[in-house]
Structures are given as C-alpha cells and as structure tokens.
Structure 1
C-alpha cells in the first residue's frame, strides 16, 4: 500500500494547503490493487478528548469499563480551518487513512443539512481541518446513513454511498471521499440503477461473499399509507461486475408464500424469503417502483432504516436491519410495528437471492420499556448494537434513546449506552436546551456507529455520532455554506473504547 503513494505524497502536502486557502483542489485518488490489505498503524495512538463540549452519552450499568472520549462538536474551532462548523445531525459516516501517508479522514453526512463534510485528523486522531464535499444543493435531499465502500473490504472504492431520504424520488449518491471541494454543489453524482425511494442507507456486502459481483442492500425509510401502499422495502442491487453501480438490476424482498405485511411475522419463527426483480428499475420513477413492489407481493415493513452485515470472514451474508415503526394518532397501524423491530436475514451463499428471515428484537410486546424506534444499527462479529431514534415522542415512552447491545450467542439484549440529559441540572439545560424539549424522552438520537479499531490500533474502539436536537446556536447556521438551510442544531462525535466485538 505505501508503495502506491510514494509519487503522490509531495503533491498531497501541497494540495492540502491549497484546499485550505482556496477550496478548489482534490485529494489524489487511490490507485486500484488486485489484493488490497488493511493497513494498521505501526504504533498505537493515545486517544484523548479533543472537543470543548463534554461527552453527551454515558455507559449503562454493567458497562462501567467503557471509556468515552470526545472527538468533535459543532462549537469546536479547528486550527487549520477556524471558520468550519461541524454541522447538525451527523449521521452516516466513514473513516479512512489520509492517502498522504499521515493522518486520517472522517466523512460524515449531516442529515437535515443535506450535506457531507470531510474532516482531516492528524496522526494522533485529532481533528485539525474541515470542509464540505457535498452541500445542500448537491445533496438535494436529506442524507441519513451511509457506507464508505473500500477496496480492502468491498473490492471497490473508495466511494461514499449516501442515500437520499426525502420522498420516493430520492436517489443514492456515490461521492468520491477524495474529491474536489468545488464540486460540492454537483447534482450528477447519483446512481439511478440503485433505484428511487426514500432511502436510509446503501450497504455493499464484502467481497468475500459477493465474489466477482456487487451486492448492495438498501433500506427504504417509508411508512405504510394509502398513498404509499408498498410501505418500506428491503431492496437489493446486484451487478455481475464488482464495483459496477450503473448496469445492475434491482430487487425487493418478499416471502415465498406471498404474505406481504410484517405484522404476520412473530419472534422466534423463521420465514423463507427471496429477492424478486423490479424490471427496468433504472428507468422507473419512485412511484413506478412502488407499484412494481405491490405487483411483486414484496414484504411491506414500517420504515426500513439502517442495514448492516455481520463482520468476520465469510459472515457477510448474515444481514441485520431495523424497522423503526409507525403510529397513527398514537396507536398502532394494523399489520405494522409501532415501537420497532430488528430483523436478521441470512442469505444462501450458493444463491444470494434466497434466504431466511426472523425477528431478533421488538418493542411492541413491552411498549415504552423495550425498543423505542430503532434506527441506526452496527453489527460486529458477535454483537448487534441497536441505536434508537425516540424523537417520535410516543406518550408511553419510559426512557431516553438507548443503544442496546444484542448478543448473537445469547439471543438477548440489554441497554448499553444512554443520552446524558442531566435532568434537574439548570446549567446543563441552559447550555443544551434552546428548543425547550430536552426534558422529553427521546429528544436526542444517534447517528452512525463505526468500528475504527484497525485505524487507531486499539481493539474495541468505535465512533458514535450524536444528534442533540435541542442544542441550537446561531453560529451553527449555514454550516455547509449553501445558504439554503435554516437548521441551527449542533452535533457531536465521540470515541468509545472497550467495546465488545
């Protein structure tokens, strides 16, 4: 790997300075390798707090060994770009080595801002410079979760796949994480072959299970309604060519027996499923894709949000996804989860279009005390970390947004992380409650949870993004510079050590 960059290091050092001054250069892209290998730091990084804001989360009982450090918050001033604001609602994210040979990069969606930031971290993982590589004009729609596809894992990239989530005509963007800052308003980086829908994430499966082709799982964050009767789908894009995002076919998940609603399924049962093609999807509107899913008897879920796969060699055919749930007038919608579910899908390695589906966690049987609207999800070798988005403010909610730790071996889960609301602390509320809603359960939510262990050389180290919605300041306004957004929320990223994998 290092050999590849010998001829580029000097140029990158110059380009880095040039981007800071005029925002008009690109970072040189990595060259392809036939058999890329993950680089591990030669020495362990001594991680410390870098933000002027304390961590907004804390470990739950039984997880006292978690060490939580702040990486960046919206109020921080970075030394090489003091005017940069790390914007609202940091959601999907990815980390990678800076191809200059020193330091790292963090690529982050800012959901409500419809933008993507790039933050440079030095060799000690300290944020030193930031900029936007997608602004609200280029983003076009809300950008929620995302996946950084990398050659060492997925067999292609690097490319930041970020899915649009503002209605059924939204598209998946393929963003070069090393690209030009002055391209931030481009609207031609979308991939129609991956379909049109209100999408949460587009997750390529690792190359050891996708073989010479490309499989990408996409969650449709859509509720059932009379205007959207196909509800939320689990969609799969497939191409016979690795890294091809333009010429493949699109499929939706269905049960073999043609039962269409998720409410027909119960926990501790397994259901035979398959992916059925949506013909000519690349050239269809989102409304036409919805109609095709109804014709195909595709499974209808209540808001499929994040998707992830089990880590470890050969495990990538084991997929987990959330159905966040929906309500009408505070009551369940017949046939759909209200409080939310987490599903496990195991695809047949000999035929990746067929598999089995089961529910591993759900909140409907113990409303308000168990799961409350699971959104993002992070899957390791042995655990599923289920991240809640409780800002639906269901009247029966009895806790703030948790991250739950699900043990694959024990088939059970328990609260792992909680939001630090500090009720009764006037100073805390004065700092973080400009909206007046901090006292409500679920007023904050989580974004991406990313394993950065290999990058920092410390096993069990993860980054977690936080949306403290009630923290609002005028100086956070127009973070992406597009002048099109009025949101002025802050955001934060923390690093957590001693995470079980």
Structure 2
C-alpha cells in the first residue's frame, strides 16, 4: 500500500523509530511540562539498572494486565517487539505502534498529553499479519523521506515485510495486501530505512534474515539491502545480499580486530521469486552465511547513517556445541558503507560471546544505536546450559569498543509472591527466561531528554485473560508483556 502525501504530511513533526531506581515513581516534570513519567502500569517494572547505572529512572508505561479507560476490552498482547512512537496528529497526545510477535499483530495505543496510555486497538491482527512479526521501524518524512510502519515477518523463508499506514483504520486489521514482495521473502526480523541525509534521494532499506543453517537452508542468514531510486518506493527497487569481495562465505573466518571488504550483489528479479529461490541465489552469489541476523540499526547524528550495526544471534546443534563456521553465542557487526558507492563497504566484528561462553554476550538480538553507544539486547530464551546470567542489555561504547552490562531482568527467584505472580509456566528458574523487544529513543518526541522505551517479553507470565488479544483467533498463546520507560540514558 502506498502512503498518500496527505498522510505523510502528518508525520513531519513526529516519530521515533526503529531498546536506577527500580519501581520508583518519577513525577518530576522535564522540558515538556505536560509529560509525567509515572508508573502508569499496575505492574512493577520487570527490569533494573546494573551497577554503575544507578542514576537511571525506570517507570512502567503499559503491561498486559492494564485496563485502558477508553477501551476497557483492549488487551495489550504479549511479546511486544518492534515499535514506533509519534505525535497524534488528531490530538495533543501520542500514538504508539507495537508489534506483538506471537500474535502476528500490531497494536496502536493512544497516549494523552501526559504520556499516559488511555486507549488501544489493533491495526493489524493475526489474520492480516500472517507470520510472526518481530522488530519494526517507523519511517518518517523527517528522518527517512517517507511514511510507513515497516514490520517484518519471521515465520519461514516465504515471509515478507508489511508497510502499514500508522493511521490505518482498525477495520483494516485483517487486510493481507500490505506486504511488499520487492523487499524480498525470507525469515526476516526488521526492515530499516537509512536516513535521507545519506541516501542521496534514494531509498536504502536494510533487512536482517533470522535464519539458521540447515541442509534445507544452506545459505543460513543474510544481510539484505533494498534500493529504490525514489524515497519510499517499496515496489520497484532492487534487492541485494552482502558478500565478501573474496567470496569467503564463512562467518567465523572473520575475527574481532580486523576489517573485511564487502559488497552488496543484486538478487535479480527478486520481486517475482519465492523465498526458496532467493535462498538459492544467495548461494550462487556467495553471500556471507550469518547465524541469524536478528536486528539492524544505524548510528544517529548528521551524516552518520552509513555506519550500520547488526547482530548475528547465534545457533547451536545441541545447546552445547556450535555449528561449524557459525557463531553460537552471538556477535555484533559494524558495517560502514562507502559514501561514493553505498553498495560497498568495510565489515568488522565489534562484540562477540564465543570467546567467553556464557559470561559475555548471550544471543544478542535487538539493537538500539545512538550517537555514541550501541545498546545490545540479549535474547536468552535459547536456554544454553552454560549461560551464567539472565538477559542483559549491554552498553557498547562506539569510540572505545568496550561494553558492559547496562540493564537486567527482574526475576526475584527467591520471592514466592513474585513467582506466583509472574511464573505460571514454571520455567523462570532458567537463566534468560525472558527477552527484550525494541528499545527506542523517545526523547525528541515527548520533549524529555535522554528517555528511552524498552519492550519486555515476560514469557513465563501467563494468564487466560491474555489469550486472543487481537481477536483474530489465530493462536492460543497467553503470555503477557510490558513496556518500560528509562530516563537518564547515555546517548
């Protein structure tokens, strides 16, 4: 679906795009006197700051158990993943779009001028979503040159990217026509348009393929790039996959501390190919075989958008041993595209968990890149027995390349009341039982400096009341989820 110019105009002043004192209210007004960053949810915060970050202030925005006054029957579904926040063009409040991975849906929550959630609905449900929806990016004319909520499907190699009008009517929730075949077919995690100040009048959209290696899928995961000659043209561009210029396809042949020449090579006629055919093309062109590319983001700041970071989450053959040539515990890559030819660049590993298994990175998933830091969010639900900590968010200093734990999950394993409230499945004893979804900077949207939203998949928190939240009847999952706000985040 092409977003109309009239809708696009509404976004000129909007949007966050596409990651302490725990449980403590913060009612102090900041630059925007209307905003009150309080604990708007009835549930306590499911995360806390790590040592060295005690000045962070964490409040709860919304949880699945909350009842919103404007829509008392609305349930904020579990597994909140990709998201975007923008000004509401029809009021003095805000709109929050959120992927709910397992329900294959996108919710739209209305927040009032104080940033309190007051109403919710679904603009894409499990019928229209068709596949699990993981990360997402809210593209805006101001930042990217066009308007759309780009949400990527991740249920196998035939999944596609949806381009959703953020103002779409809830009556369209079952509409399956909003996918974009030109952006390829793959088990995708995110579709991230680069900022217009580095795109030279074109659209460059980076897509991560969350695919494991197997005999039936030997190309594993790719970093894909869609290029169109017009900003926001999601139908007529070309699709490319990343390869090394020396044709070496093995991920673990690249090591931390070195840089590698890479280029994007076209997958011809991709719009009309199946996902299986695209996979074969990746083999034919010697695309790099990454172990599950789960998220992509670019460095913020004027002219910095050609500096891109992405994760290879990792995989194992048995939970104990890696697959040959692939990371098991996960990696974060830095890709810098050449200004004169953005189909070429330099690739390097900036963080990895394999050299110190279970103690360092454990399955990095989502990313949030600011001007000076990369926030690396772990997806610990792979349950590797050697894991020694719960899912962290790590703070990577771009300048020094040093990183340290920044945020942790609150599990209170020795608190019977907490276990009764949030461990219905009984698996919270395992390290990494919960995972993070999106982390986004909302500072400029709400006028409160250094403020970020973080989504949490609280997998073990399960209630019948959370079932069928979007009304589509697609699955019976009954997990809850939460979004927290964090102030005093270093950018």
Q: With the length of structure 2 as denominator, give the TM-score of the two structures.
A: 0.95
2:207 maps to what in 1? 218
| Corresponding residue of 1:10 | none
Equivalent position SS for 1:469: strand
Q: 1:363 aligns with which of 339, 353, 361?
A: 353
| 1:384-395 equivalent positions in 2, closer than 5 A | 384-395=374-385
Q: How does 1:283-302 map to 2 (within 5 A)?
A: 283-302=272-291
Q: CA deviation at 1:348?
A: 0.5
Q: CA deviation at 1:45?
A: 1.7
Residues 168 and 28 of structure 1: is their aligned pair in 2 closer, same or farther, counting only changes over 3 Å? closer
Q: Which residue of 2 aligns with 1:123?
A: 113
Q: Structure 2 vs 1, CA of residues 265 and 205 (structure 1 numbering), >3 Å: closer, same or farther? A: same
Alpha-carbon separation, structure 2, partners of 1:32 and 1:397: 46
Q: Does 1:346 align with 2:341?
A: no
Deviation (angstroms), 1:43: 4.0
Question: Which residue is 1:11 aligned to?
Answer: none
**2:299 corresponds to 1:310:** yes
Structure 1 stretch displaced more, 339-348 or 100-109: 100-109
- The alpha carbon displacement at 1:100 in A equals 1.4
Deviation at 1:414, TM superposition (A): 0.1
Runs (4+) of structure 1 exceeding 2 A deviation are 27-44
In structure 2, do the counterparts of structure 1 residues 54 and 155 end up closer, same or farther at CA, with 3 Å as the change threshold? same
* Alpha-carbon distance in 2 for matches of 1:196, 1:458: 39
Structure 1 partner of 2:24: none
- The equivalent of 2:21 in structure 1 is none
Say which of 230, 245, 249 aligns to 1:260: 249
Alignment deviations for residues 429-478 of structure 1 (CA, whole Å, 9 cap, x no partner):
00000000011100000000010001121111000000000000000000
Aligned equivalents of 2:271, 2:311: Cα separation in 1: 25
Change over 3 Å in CA distance of 1:50–1:340 after alignment to 2:
same
Among 319, 322, 341, which residue is 1:332 paired with? 322
Please say if 1:103 is aligned against 2:93. yes
Cα separation, partners in 2 of 1:492 and 1:77, compared to 1, 3 Å: same
Aligned match of 1:463 in 453, 468, 472? 453
**Distance (Å, rounded) in 1 between the aligned partners of 2:363 and 2:6:** 39
Whether the 8 Å contact between 2:12 and 2:140 is mirrored in structure 1 is: no
Change beyond 3 A, Cα 1:471–1:28: farther
Match of 2:309 among 313, 316, 320: 320
What's the CA shift for 1:358? Answer: 0.2
Give the 3-state SS of the residue equivalent to 1:138 in structure 2. Answer: helix
3-state SS of 1:467 partner = strand
Partner of 2:84: 94
Q: Distance in 1 between matches of 2:435 and 2:11?
A: 38
Q: Counterparts of 1:30-69 in structure 2 under 5 Å?
A: 30-32=6-8, 36=12, 43=33, 45-69=35-59
- Whole-Å separation in 2 of the counterparts to 1:463 and 1:34: 23
Q: Give me the whole-angstrom Cα distance separating, in 2, the residues matched to 1:496 and 1:78.
A: 22
> What is the CA-CA distance between 1:359 and the residue it aligns to?
0.3
Q: Over residues 394-436 of structure 1, what are the superposed CA-to-partner deviations in whole Å (9 max), with x where a residue is unaligned?
A: 0100000000000011111000000001111000000000000
The structural deviation recorded for 1:268 is 0.5
Offset, 1:35? 11
Q: Hey, what's the Cα distance between the residues in 2 that align with 1:169 and 1:347?
A: 28
Q: How many angstroms apart in 1 are the aligned matches of 2:178 and 2:8?
A: 21
- Does 1:271 find its partner at 2:276? no
- Does structure 1 retain, via aligned residues, the 8 Å contact 2:194–2:298? yes
Among 155, 158, 161, the alignment partner of 1:166 is 155
Return closer, same or farther for 1:235/1:318 CA change in 2, 3 Å cut-off: same
Deviations 1:314-349 (A, max 9, x none): 000000000000000121001000000000000011
Contact 2:143 2:195 in 1 (8 A): yes
Q: 1:433 matched to which residue of 2? A: 423
8 Å Cα contact 2:82-2:438 kept in structure 1: yes
Query: Equivalents in 1 of 2:110, 2:279: separation in Å?
Result: 40
- Runs of 5+ consecutive residues of structure 2 not aligned to the other structure: 17-30
| Change over 3 Å in CA distance of 1:240–1:34 after alignment to 2 | farther
Residues 30 and 99 in structure 1, CA contact (< 8 A), matched pair in contact too: no
Distance 2:291 2:11 in 1: 40
* Partner Cα distance (2:69, 2:34) in 1: 24
Cα distance in 2 for partners of 1:357, 1:287 equals: 27
For residue 65 of structure 1, give the secondary structure of its aligned residue in structure 2.
coil
Cα pair 2:15 2:138 within 8 Å, conserved: no
Find the aligned partners of 1:221 and 1:244 in 2 and give their Cα distance.
Answer: 24
Report Cα offsets for 1:43-100 as digits up to 9, x if no partner.
4623111000000000000000000000000000001001100001000000000001
| Counterpart secondary structure, 2:258 | coil
- 1:80 aligns to what? 70
- The structure 1 residue matched to 2:396, chosen from 381, 397, 406, is 406
CA contact (8 A) 2:427 2:460 kept: yes
The answer for the alignment partner of 2:61 in structure 1 is 71
1:391 is paired with a residue of what secondary structure? helix
SS of 2:155's partner is: coil
Alpha-carbon distance, 1:32 to partner: 4.3
Does the aligned pair in 2 maintain the 1:132–1:480 contact within 8 Å?
yes
Q: Are 1:481 and 2:465 an aligned pair?
A: no
Superposition map of 1:365-380 within 5 A: 365-380=355-370
Partner of 1:8: none
C-alpha displacement at 1:114, in angstroms?
Answer: 0.3
Return the TM-score normalized by structure 1.
0.93
